[in-house]
Amino acid sequence: MTAASSHSGPTGSTSHASLEPPSYRRPRRLGDTVVTHLVDRIVSGAYPVDTVLPTEPELCQEFGVSRTVVRESIKLLEAKGLVKATPGRGTRVLEPIGWNLLDPLVLEAQIRHDSNLSILDDLINVRAALECDMAAQCARVITPDQVEALKKQANVLAESLHDADRYGREDVAFHEMIMVFSGNRLGHAIIHGIHAKARLSSRYNGDPSREEHLQSLAEHRQIESMILQGDAQGAAAAMRVHILGSWARRRPGVRGAMGQEAGS
């Protein structure tokens, strides 16, 4: 049974337990709990677009909170672009086009319920666009001290091939270093936010083999080489090949961000 089909309707009495990710079980403020539950139900489709959320009394009873908590929670949902509250007409779910996917809760729920991985494809394309630009800028402005730091990090990455978990961490550190050295703080903040959420998904990370790690390392070395040569265009191209190629390899048999069947 899908998450959406386990719910009998916006005001039904069917349990929502199947919709609740493990993070819901952690202690949190009551308002945070209400918002997290409702975000998950909206994004999953349990509350479809244009339906009205349960009334304040119903939400108060379900979550064991006051009307003040429920009202503040609804305001937060509005700020995330998920709903519109209208006096006398209730709180209605809005179209996904207006949802704030840079909001951590919304993005996390979207990734969790993305059955065809389209949101991850979008994320990869955004990441590629921004990181390619930052790699090019890094090649233009990198300082001698930063050159040495990047060389050191590339060597650490190579030394981590025997340890998949460590390789993953050092891979992230390599990309972070290039973004920081580029000086593009906004681009870095956007990628840092969306990539951190994506890495929580096993579907994003995949289960790369040693051969895939060797390919990844070769691509990182090419990025490093272009940056150290001061070749902005080459650095951007190498970064694009790496980001799109590694994503295609992680999702075999599915049409990925490169517009081709992975492995073809």
- Residue 89 buriedness (CB in 10 A; 0-12 / 13-18 / 19+): exposed
Asked which of 7-21, 33-47, 51-65, 189-203 is least confident by mean pLDDT, the reply is 7-21
Q: How many domains does the chain have?
A: 2
- pLDDT at position 58 is 96
- Please check whether residues 34 and 145 belong to one and the same domain: no
- Please check whether residues 93 and 120 belong to one and the same domain: no
Is 156:170 a contact under the CB 8 Å cutoff?
A: yes
CATH number of the structural domain spanning residue 35? 1.10.10.10
- pLDDT at position 219 is 97
Opening angle at CA 134, ends 130 and 138, nearest 5 = 175
pLDDT in tens, 179-217: 999 999 999 999 988 888 888 777 787 777 888 889 999
* Residue bearing tokens 């599915």: 254
Q: Which of 55, 73, 98 is where one domain is finished?
A: 98
- Please check whether residues 86 and 125 belong to one and the same domain: no
For residue 138, being part of any structural domain is answered with yes
- Which helix (H) or strand (E) segment holds residue 84: the answer is strand 83-86
For residue 105, being part of any structural domain is answered with no
pLDDT in tens, 110-140: 988 988 888 999 999 999 999 999 999 999 9
- Computed from CA positions of residues 66, 70, 75, 76, in that sequence, does the dihedral angle turn out positive or negative? positive
- Please check whether residues 125 and 233 belong to one and the same domain: yes
pLDDT in tens, 216-229: 999 999 999 999 99
- Please check whether residues 244 and 176 belong to one and the same domain: yes
- Please check whether residues 127 and 213 belong to one and the same domain: yes
- Please check whether residues 127 and 74 belong to one and the same domain: no
- Please check whether residues 124 and 18 belong to one and the same domain: no
Expressed in angstroms, the distance from the first to the final Cα of the chain is 33
Q: How far is CA 93 from the centre of its chain?
A: 22
The SS3 of residue 239 is helix
CATH number of the structural domain spanning residue 207? 1.20.120.530
Band of the pLDDT at 250, cuts 50, 70, 90?
confident
Q: Which of 56, 74, 98 is where one domain is finished?
A: 98
- What is the pTM for the complete model shown? 0.74
For residue 106, being part of any structural domain is answered with no
- pLDDT at position 44 is 95
- Please check whether residues 235 and 122 belong to one and the same domain: yes
Which domain does 68 fall in, by range?
A: 4-98
Q: Which of 56, 72, 98 is where one domain is finished?
A: 98
Residue of 152, 252, 148 lying closest to 203 (CA atoms): 252
